[in-house]
């Protein structure tokens, strides 16, 4: 169980009409999306219908050394992917984009999301002779599309037909020999934006990736929309459109970069709004407002602006801690927070501190940070959280674990406050968290807070017998 939540992945695609270096553009975009996935990454390049790809475990800078990028060559199109995987999916075969060879040609696919009926679809395909090399939903979707392509008149028609059978959350890119296609599920629970650089089009999980290559934002892909980019420009199929977006609210709380714009709202300003609501819901007399870097800083600034309490930096984050920080003993793990964060004693000594963070999962990291501030001389520590308490699992790709592992399911808020050692504790209300994106014409999925999901999750989480130990199988 992670102390911080993780999103499943980020995707990026480019269709070049300006002699751009599509490999370098994709590399830079993945670097900008690295926060969305740090387990594996990959790039697939389309050179006149021939697709070359490379994917591996690791950060973008670790996987794509100069010689690897050089071997990918050049092309008209490229798609890229960075993945955060659970312990079960942290294998090279689950890295994306996945490339497929079939009777109609080659195809590459990169997906962000979870197919809720994957178990049933996969079982049906296996009984028909399909072979799977990974546990990734991307491979399942690729099977669905290629089977539909046998009778469909085009790749986009095949994708549209496959969507009729897919039930779940997905924001994906598909690259065929001649087309770059972006697809968003009918509820739009994961973001996908369209950008343009001169005459070239790009698709990305966040607008920060567009900025990395100098593209300007055009619009978001609509929920249920299929966007097709080819030599004739951009067009779309809206057969599955019509429902209002139910974007995962944690895109604004934590997942997205603060310099991104999602559904028309600046993530940075949305987080400031969370802090403003927190100041109104949970006021306190204090001398300094500070955030837990980096995710708590924007909300802390909003809290300070609304409360009139000065904003300051009292914790410094070590920018050079890699994605994996493996320590052998419990004592080492308990002290690891001191390597990642350090308090500035001269700032916090003798002060009544309002400490703002985005969430509390188990509470262990929060307790260590509070202890660090106490040791540095903080007189009082009042913690404010810019999201409601986690009480329910997420079935849509965020690694919120079973309810029994969530501290808010085992303790009251005052009990949590006592456990982590603060003088007071306040969470943002469910009523206000859905109001933080003022410019967004969408609704939000808040299932992890409320237990009310926009999709039926009754059969979610089923696992193929091939992914279980022999002793766990019934046959």
Q: What is the pLDDT of residue 198?
A: 94
- Could you read off the pLDDT tens digit of each residue along the chain, which spans 475 residues? 345 555 569 999 999 999 999 999 999 999 999 999 989 999 999 999 999 999 999 999 999 999 999 999 999 999 999 998 654 556 889 999 999 999 888 999 999 999 999 999 999 999 999 999 999 999 999 999 999 999 999 999 999 999 999 999 999 999 999 999 999 999 999 999 999 999 999 999 999 999 999 999 999 999 999 999 999 999 999 999 999 999 999 999 999 999 999 999 999 999 999 999 999 999 999 999 999 998 899 999 999 999 999 999 999 998 776 544 444 555 555 566 677 889 999 999 999 999 999 999 888 889 999 999 999 999 999 999 999 999 998 888 776 667 777 899 889 999 999 999 999 999 999 999 999 998 888 899 999 999 999 999 887 766 555 555 545 555 4
Q: Distance between CA atoms of 186 and 222, rounded to whole angstroms? A: 8
- Catalytic residue from among 9, 82, 160, 448: 9
CB 68 within 8 A of CB 82: no
Output the CA torsion 68→70→71→74 (10° steps): 130
11 CB-near residues (< 8 Å, 6+ apart):
33, 79, 80, 81, 110, 111, 112, 171, 172, 173, 192, 203, 204, 205
Q: What is the pLDDT of residue 67?
A: 97
CB 98 within 8 A of CB 139: yes
Q: Where in the chain is the domain with CATH 3.60.20.10?
A: 9-243
What is the third-level CATH fold of 265-444? Rossmann fold (3.40.50)
CB 382 within 8 A of CB 328: no
Q: What is the pLDDT of residue 399?
A: 67
SS3 label, residue 42: strand
Q: Distance between CA atoms of 267 and 255, rounded to whole angstroms? A: 10
How many whole angstroms from its chain centre is CA 180?
Answer: 22
What is the third-level CATH fold of 9-243? 3.60.20
Q: Where in the chain is the domain with CATH 3.40.50.2020?
A: 265-444
CB 7 within 8 A of CB 206: no
Residue 430: count of CB within 10 angstroms of its CB: 15
Closest CA to 245 of 270, 272, 264: 264
Question: Is 448 one of the annotated active-site residues of the chain?
Answer: no
The alpha-carbon radius of gyration of the chain (Å, integer) is 23
For the chain, the maximum distance between any two Cα atoms, rounded to a whole number of angstroms, is 73
């Amino acid at each position: 169980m992670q102390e911080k939540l993780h999103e499943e992945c980020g995707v990026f695609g480019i269709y070049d009409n300006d002699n751009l270096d599509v490999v370098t553009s994709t590399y830079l975009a993945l670097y900008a999306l690295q926060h969305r996935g740090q387990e594996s990454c990959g790039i697939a390049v389309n050179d006149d219908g021939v697709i070359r790809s490379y994917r591996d475990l690791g950060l973008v800078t670790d996987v794509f050394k100069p010689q690897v990028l050089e071997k990918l060559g050049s092309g008209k199109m490229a798609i890229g992917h960075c993945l955060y995987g659970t312990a079960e999916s942290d294998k090279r075969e689950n890295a994306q984009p996945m490339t497929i060879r079939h009777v109609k040609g080659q195809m590459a696919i990169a997906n962000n999301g979870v197919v809720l009926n994957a178990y049933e679809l996969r079982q049906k395909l296996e009984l028909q002779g399909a072979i799977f090399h990974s546990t990734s939903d991307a491979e399942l979707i690729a099977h669905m599309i290629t089977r539909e392509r046998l009778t469909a008149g085009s790749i986009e028609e095949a994708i549209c037909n496959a969507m009729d059978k897919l039930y779940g959350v997905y924001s994906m890119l598909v690259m065929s020999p001649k087309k770059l296609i972006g697809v968003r599920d009918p509820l739009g629970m994961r973001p996908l934006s369209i950008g343009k650089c001169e005459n070239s089009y790009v698709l990305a999980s966040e607008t920060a990736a567009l900025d990395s290559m100098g593209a300007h934002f055009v619009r978001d892909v609509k929920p249920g929309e299929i966007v097709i980019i080819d030599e004739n420009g951009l067009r779309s199929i809206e057969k599955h459109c019509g429902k209002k977006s139910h974007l995962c609210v944690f895109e604004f709380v934590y997942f997205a970069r603060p310099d991104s714009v999602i559904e028309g709202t600046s993530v940075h300003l949305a987080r400031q709004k969370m802090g403003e609501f927190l100041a109104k819901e949970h006021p306190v007399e204090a001398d300094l407002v500070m955030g837990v870097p980096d995710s708590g800083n924007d909300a802390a600034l909003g809290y300070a602006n609304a409360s009139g309490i000065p904003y300051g930096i009292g914790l410094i984050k070590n920018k050079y801690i890699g994605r994996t920080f493996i320590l052998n003993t419990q004592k080492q793990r308990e002290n690891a927070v001191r390597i990642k964060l350090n308090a500035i004693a001269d700032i916090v000594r003798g002060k009544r501190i309002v400490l703002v963070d985005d969430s509390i999962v188990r509470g262990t990291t929060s307790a260590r940070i509070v202890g660090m501030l106490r040791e540095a001389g903080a007189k009082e520590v009042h913690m404010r959280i810019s999201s409601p308490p986690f009480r329910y699992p997420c079935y849509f790709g965020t690694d919120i674990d079973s309810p029994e592992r969530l501290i808010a399911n085992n303790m009251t808020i005052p009990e949590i406050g006592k456990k982590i050692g603060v003088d007071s504790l306040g969470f943002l209300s469910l009523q206000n968290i859905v109001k933080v994106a003022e410019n967004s014409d969408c609704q939000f999925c808040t299932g992890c807070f409320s237990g009310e999901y926009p999709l039926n999750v009754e059969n979610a989480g089923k696992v193929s017998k091939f992914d279980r130990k022999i002793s766990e199988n019934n046959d």
